[in-house]
Amino acid sequence: MGHLRKPAVAGAFYPAQPQQLAADVAAFLAAAPPSKAPVPKAVIAPHAGYIYSGPIAASVYARLAPAKGRITRVVLMGPSHRVGFKGIAGCTADAYETPLGIIPIDKAGYAQALAFPDTGILDAAHENEHSLEVHLPFLQAVLGSFSLVPLVAGDASPELVAKVLEAVWGGPETLIVISTDLSHYLDYDKAKSTDHAACQAIEHLDPAGLKDDQACGRIPVKGLLIEAKKHGLKVETVDLRNSGDTSGPKDRVVGYGAWAFTAPEGETVAVPEDAERIRANAPMILELARSSIENALAKGPGVTVAHPLPDLLTQPGAVFVTLKIEGQLRGCIGSPVAWRPLGQDLVDNAQKAAFQDPRFPPLTAEEWPEVELSVSVLTPPVPMDIRDETDLLAQLRPGIDGLIIEDGGHRALFLPSVWEALPKPKEFLGHLKRKAGMADDHWSPHFKASRFLAVELKSID
């Protein structure tokens, strides 16, 4: 495995013996309240000794159990307690080791995370740091095998943290873990009041509301709050206690909290299984779209699916088909929501993109050899909770979100691929408003926006 980052606080913060550690972690997880909540995309959990913070950490880690085998990468960021430095640090180790085993470091993740100014490698920040290490046995217990992107935050801005997290955000295969304790060494009542205020800031996704004395990991937490709002995540407080509640006196306590960040209720995304199935069937999907246009050119339009299709294409699905010639749009038609089998939607929209897009004349046989064809399979649109245009722009994820807007009978849609031509949110939204027949500066209390994701397949012909 190469160079290992050895355990630094085993035998102090948690048991050094593998059997005892596994038993303690299992007991903490078994005592966590049951929950039917969705698996979190991100969590905040404490990093003190297990006798103090173990029950609080377990309360949110228990929610990851259904994702064992699906979550294959963990991005873990905590504050530096022992080394002062500027920015965010990775390490040269090939893996982190705990008494429960070895966790390989995702070097490709490091390349993405440490590509910004004030990021880099600093082994000293990792050598004796407990804010990352104490989380690993819990993660090993609930997830089994996974790779790790371990990051220590020094004197960094929340905006830098947000950029780093965005770079490694990934899909449902990636879990974000932020490590922090709350107030330190206040009396019990003062700690409860201070920790409640910190909890309110986290619940409202309000980085400015989290004060310096409320969390040792405030910088990583603030960066996550920025990203959580941008990605439309909902936050739930899972546990909020202190060492006076778990194990210790009440005159000088340390506060602990656990929070789960999940996609809005009802939102579905292209989970790896679906995306992989779609991409695995890409040649057949693209050929079906092309052959439907070729048949229409030869025999006239008609929605037919003449040969057996895989189960994927017999299930309800929504698809857009886009045609370009020399990089210029030549037709684009699709369904924003699923209402019929995906294969039928594909064939129908391919022919409509070629022959019924009102912006263009019908495609001709002479043009057909020059056509570049792409197919976008959509996830269901999810309404966005927005206060105003500034809020909408802040929540948009360039390169990720497709967007539907509507107001006063006007409606329009952009696929995620449009970000390639319009990479700035303000520009992206302005062009979409024009497409809908609205002015660039249009806004009203009735303005609605929904976002969706897409798996895009491009023809290589």
**Domain spans of the chain?**
4-262, 272-379, 382-456
Q: b vs e for 226-255, b when ≥16 Cβ sit within 10 Å of the residue's Cβ?
A: bbbbbbbbbbbbbbbbbbbbbeeeeeebbb
Residue 289: is its pLDDT beyond 70? yes
Residue 267: is its pLDDT beyond 70? no
Q: What is the C-alpha to C-alpha distance for residues 440 and 119, in angstroms, rounded to an integer? A: 38
Choice between 107 and 280, residue whose per-residue pLDDT is larger:
107
The pLDDT tens digits for 128-140 are 999 999 999 999 9
- Asked if 96 contacts 103 with a C-beta cutoff of 8 angstroms, the reply is yes
Residue 306: is its pLDDT beyond 80? no
Residue 274: is its pLDDT beyond 70? no
Residue 268: is its pLDDT beyond 70? no
Question: Which CATH code is given to the segment(s) 272-379?
Answer: 3.30.700.20
Residue 379: is its pLDDT beyond 90? no
| Domain 4-262 part of CATH 3.40.830.10 | yes
CA distances from 392 to 386, 412, 432 (A): 6, 16, 13
Least confident of 173-177, 302-306, 321-325: 302-306
Rounded mean pLDDT of the chain?
Answer: 92
Q: How confident is the model at residue 317 (pLDDT cuts 50, 70, 90)?
A: confident
Residue 91: is its pLDDT beyond 90? yes
Least confident of 69-73, 362-366, 403-407, 415-419: 69-73
- Name the CATH architecture for the domain at 382-456: 2-Layer Sandwich (3.30)
> What is the pLDDT averaged over residues 346-353?
95
Choice between 386 and 242, residue whose per-residue pLDDT is larger:
242
- What pLDDT, on a 0 to 100 scale, did the predictor assign at position 400? 84
- What pLDDT, on a 0 to 100 scale, did the predictor assign at position 272? 43
Q: How confident is the model at residue 243 (pLDDT cuts 50, 70, 90)?
A: very high
- The answer for residues whose C-beta is within 8 angstroms of residue 401's C-beta and 6 or more apart is 416, 451, 452, 453
Q: What is the C-alpha to C-alpha distance for residues 331 and 192, in angstroms, rounded to an integer? A: 60
> What is the pLDDT averaged over residues 256-267?
81
> What is the pLDDT averaged over residues 260-267?
72
Q: How confident is the model at residue 69 (pLDDT cuts 50, 70, 90)?
A: confident
Task: Give me the percent of the chain exceeding a pLDDT of 70.
Answer: 95
Identify which of 4, 21, 14 has the alpha carbon closest to the alpha carbon of residue 97.
4
- What pLDDT, on a 0 to 100 scale, did the predictor assign at position 1? 56
Would you say how long the chain is, in residues?
Answer: 461
- What pLDDT, on a 0 to 100 scale, did the predictor assign at position 338? 85
- Asked if 139 contacts 74 with a C-beta cutoff of 8 angstroms, the reply is yes
- What pLDDT, on a 0 to 100 scale, did the predictor assign at position 420? 87
Placement of tokens 């009102």 in the chain: 358
Say whether pTM exceeds 0.75.
no
- What pLDDT, on a 0 to 100 scale, did the predictor assign at position 217? 97
Task: Dig out the tokens for 371 from the structure.
Answer: 């056509």
Q: How confident is the model at residue 264 (pLDDT cuts 50, 70, 90)?
A: low
CA distances from 122 to 76, 126, 219 (A): 16, 7, 18
Least confident of 109-118, 165-174, 188-197: 165-174
- What pLDDT, on a 0 to 100 scale, did the predictor assign at position 176? 97
The pLDDT tens digits for 205-236 are 999 999 999 999 999 999 999 999 988 899 99
- Asked if 113 contacts 90 with a C-beta cutoff of 8 angstroms, the reply is yes
- Asked if 76 contacts 132 with a C-beta cutoff of 8 angstroms, the reply is yes
Task: Dig out the tokens for 162 from the structure.
Answer: 């947000």
